[in-house]
Structure 1
Amino acid sequence: MQINKFLITALCLSCGLAIPPALAGQNKPLKVCAAENEMPYSNKAGEGFENKLAELVGKALDRKVEYVSWSDPRYYIRDTLDKGLCDVAIGVDKGDPRVLTTQPYYRSGYVFISREADKLDLLSWDSAALRKVKRIAFVPGTPPEAMMKAIGRYNDMFNYSQELVGFKSARNQYIKYETSKLVSEISSGHAEVAALWGPSAARYVKASPTPLTMTMIPDDNVRADGQKVGSHYSTSMGVRKNDPALLAQLNKVIEDKRDEITELLEKEGVPLLAEPNAS
């Protein structure tokens, strides 16, 4: 015989007993830390692919999704998740030391973007085309910056790179580069190549009026001093370090909904890679 869960809860409360763990927190909103304007990941209108993923997770857990917005990616874990304002951050690097991370729900990498008509031979950072083109768009502070220095193209791209800044926030002068703008540099012909994080660029590559091509950058790059420069990364969900119960629930959702998550990412156009330890 199935017993009404609300009746059990009422009896527990009236008798001073603890609510069974299976019922505790059930149907409470799932509060998701979400960027208010970091497309294609998330925005206040819910148009990002991480918004869609959050809704998928909420449905699987039978919990309504509520978003807690942040505007500066440098501090959002500290200012939202750590303070208990939200429960989960959807897109974090696997093993991020600030949080407990789930098993990865996708792996991707940095890509070269160019116009199909140009037929550039862009197989790696050693490609001769990268030494001949006039403009290469990239985001400072990312692996492509290190490799631009390694191939000797950083200094002659410095002024051009400053032209690509989207805006500076009021808080500590956070500088933002809009991926859509960098992709449009290639579509318009203003630049010949962009080196960008694939998931951030995929939507705009698909929408480009000029046919573009994305080429996955190999993960074997090193700086002049021999230090590895990573290009492939796995993405997970993050929860507070004192919330292993939610971590376990999210891991189960990722496992159970793997095909749906992959379909969502493929529809977005995200270039996907197999996990290194996958058979």
Structure 2
Amino acid sequence: MKTTTHIFTALTLGLGMASVHAEQPTLKVCTAENEMPYSNKAGEGFENKLAQYLAEQLGRKLETVTWTDPRYFIRDFVDKGLCDVVVGVDQGDPRLLTTVPYYRSGYVFITRKGDDLDLQNWDSDVLQKAKRIAFIPGTPAETMLRAKGRYNDMFNYQQELVGFKSKRNQYIKYDTEKLVNEVASGKAEVAVLWGPAAARYVQSSTTPLTMTVIPDNNQRADGEKVGFHYSTSMGVRKGDVALLEQLNTLIRNAEDDFTEILEAEGIPLLDEPDTALSMN
């Protein structure tokens, strides 16, 4: 009788554990199929690591939903309920409900450490003398190169950097790793890139490189401010206030864990401005 009771109890516990696992809710996170160093299908990006951390902390099973084109994934994936969270979006992205920022970073100048260039801001003589400056069009780097009269000088060089593997109606992709390697190999004197996108490749370069965060006090020729520091949040579907509040609580309570993941990537981290902190 006692043996039968033990068997019954063990079966009950086993069924109970199976039920717990079966009922564990899923956290569907939208990530890019091939947008390193953020994420890829193999889970090698730092946003992949953040997604895994989120799922663990929320007690959910991670389901990664990958997209290939950044222009449409919110409309085609998030809005349709195919995924719940986007790990990296601009703070205040109007297409989503966004969390409090979990990090702030900036654009950087990347140079070879051995060149020992005096390059702290856009007024540096280095930028006037450089024969090749690697940058991605449509970013603040282009705006400032235009303001400083160097954009046309770099036009032909820029055509060498773009990955023209896209057909009509597909976005043109620039490979950040390639632009970092342009500096490492000596083909370019300077690269101007978003710090989080470049940090991994700066760290892994066999040629020692330096990243200098660009000050956030720049203006276009007409006096309009050009931003170089930005805050990154997570995004959820509009209306999903419950998940938003869960994520906000986690971000606030686990700040050190987020920082550890980002610093391991080599990402330059900046303090949030006082105005942003007061809003959070």
- How far residue 27 of structure 1 moved from its aligned partner, in angstroms, is 2.6
Partner of residue 227, structure 1: 224
Aligned counterparts of 1:193 and 1:75: Cα–Cα separation in 2:
32
Partner of residue 204, structure 1: 201
Contact 1:168–1:174 (8 Å) recurs in 2: no
Aligned counterparts of 2:200 and 2:132: Cα–Cα separation in 1:
22
Q: Which amino acid letter does the alignment assign opposite residue 85 of structure 1? A: L
1:132 to 129, 153, 156: 129
Structure 2 unaligned residues grouped into runs of 5+ = 1-12
Q: Which amino acid letter does the alignment assign opposite residue 99 of structure 2? A: T
Partner of residue 105, structure 1: 102
Q: Which moved more, 1:235-244 or 1:171-180?
A: 171-180
Aligned counterparts of 1:52 and 1:166: Cα–Cα separation in 2:
27
- Cα deviation, 1:97-143, whole Å, max 9, x if unaligned, reads 11000000000000000001111111111111100010000000111
1:119 to 111, 116, 130: 116
- How far residue 171 of structure 1 moved from its aligned partner, in angstroms, is 5.7
1:89 to 74, 86, 89: 86
Partner of residue 249, structure 2: 252
Contact 1:93–1:235 (8 Å) recurs in 2: yes
Partner of residue 19, structure 1: none
Aligned counterparts of 2:166 and 2:75: Cα–Cα separation in 1:
18
Structure 1 segment 1-279 matched on structure 2, within 5 A: 27-170=24-167, 172-277=169-274
- Cα deviation, 1:63-88, whole Å, max 9, x if unaligned, reads 01111111111111111111111001
Aligned counterparts of 1:191 and 1:47: Cα–Cα separation in 2:
28
Q: Which moved more, 1:72-81 or 1:53-62?
A: 72-81
Q: Which amino acid letter does the alignment assign opposite residue 175 of structure 1? A: I
- Cα deviation, 1:122-172, whole Å, max 9, x if unaligned, reads 111111110001000000011101001000110010110111012343460
Aligned counterparts of 1:92 and 1:268: Cα–Cα separation in 2:
18
Aligned counterparts of 1:30 and 1:169: Cα–Cα separation in 2:
32
Q: Please state which structure has a larger fraction of its residues in helix.
A: 2
Structure 1 unaligned residues grouped into runs of 5+ = 11-25
Aligned counterparts of 1:31 and 1:87: Cα–Cα separation in 2:
5
Q: How many aligned positions are there?
A: 259
TM-score of the superposed pair, with normalisation by structure 2: 0.89
TM-score of the superposed pair, with normalisation by structure 1: 0.89
Q: Which amino acid letter does the alignment assign opposite residue 30 of structure 1? A: L
Q: Which amino acid letter does the alignment assign opposite residue 234 of structure 2? A: M
Q: Which amino acid letter does the alignment assign opposite residue 243 of structure 1? A: D
Aligned counterparts of 2:168 and 2:59: Cα–Cα separation in 1:
37
Deviating beyond 6 angstroms after TM superposition, the runs of 4 or more aligned structure 1 residues are none
RMSD: 1.8
Aligned counterparts of 1:163 and 1:192: Cα–Cα separation in 2:
15
Aligned counterparts of 1:199 and 1:96: Cα–Cα separation in 2:
18
